[in-house]
Chain A
């Protein structure tokens, strides 16, 4: 397997894995946060506005961990530094 093919295969696999594993944790965490907020709203409907605002902020902060993994996957797929290096090496080797 050439260098380019190896880099491409590993990049695609890693991108899929990082999004997959990066989605598990935040999904569980967001589920717990939403469940807790819903039960809190059911107990105290008066403070629903404060609760939902806090819920939105905390959901976005939890979600940012998934976003980090997504950013890493995007970098690996579309802005991979090793890919350009290997491409240049292959071109200079070819002629």
Chain B
């Protein structure tokens, strides 16, 4: 049984093997980019919105409102970053219903790359918001003793992000494969439905956790100021 799509080679270019993970990642990227470009081609005020543009607006507004709930004063770049993560993971997981497609998120290389981008983005967002000194100061909060633990937690959250997504998507594929051998007629369909649900939830969680990490890195300086009083009800 194959655990990852890494081992399947789709084609080779100049002696370079393009495996299924990379190939299907490109397919998802092309699909997302081309669709977005086609939809937003006529983005002018005088053109009435058609149903595709409305769909895209609904998706983007939903992502925006979710980010607003987590950190009310997030910059637009958080929307770009987390929204891209969500759309990519969700589409790779949802294209599971296409026969022959293997989700690139079922490979540890893809999820490790995504987690690595989150690990790099968190300090970047923190430094742009509060400067290098201000960001490095968050590592010695609440005291210097906590420095190694803060560093460890930074890495362990990256590892857990990668393994969580990989394990969830891979386990769906493996269980469907095992059930194909035992009860090939009906059960794999049910498990695929469950896989679709899990895939969407995992995409949501990945994006939400990335947003939470970024907002915790950016919000420290502003949180020290006394917050405006909540309205008493």
Contact = CB atoms under 8 A, between A and B. Distances in A.
A88 interface: no
Interface residues of B, number: 17
A78 B168 contact: no
A64 B164 contact: yes
B3 A74 contact: yes
Contacts of A61: 164, 205
A67 B202 CA distance: 12
Interface in B189-233: 198, 201-202, 204-205, 208
Contacts of A60: 164, 168, 198, 201-202, 205
Contacts of A83: none
A74 B174 contact: yes
A82 interface: no
Contact of B204 (A57, A67, A70): A57
B1 interface: yes
A36 interface: no
Interface string A24-68: 000000000000000000000000000000001100110110011
A4 to B, nearest CB: 19
A15 B136 CA distance: 42
A12 interface: no
Nearest to A67: B167
A58 to B, nearest CB: 10
Interface residues of A, number: 14
B170 interface: yes
Contacts of B167: 64, 67-68, 70-71
B171 interface: yes
Interface string B159-192: 0100110111011001000000000000000000
A67 B171 contact: yes
A7 to B, nearest CB: 18
A79 interface: yes
B3 A79 contact: yes
B163 A78 contact: no
B202 A71 contact: no
A71 B174 CA distance: 11
Interface of A: 56-57, 60-61, 63-64, 67-68, 70-71, 74-75, 78-79
Given A61-B205, A78-B3, 5 more contacts: A56-B201, A56-B204, A60-B198, A60-B201, A71-B163
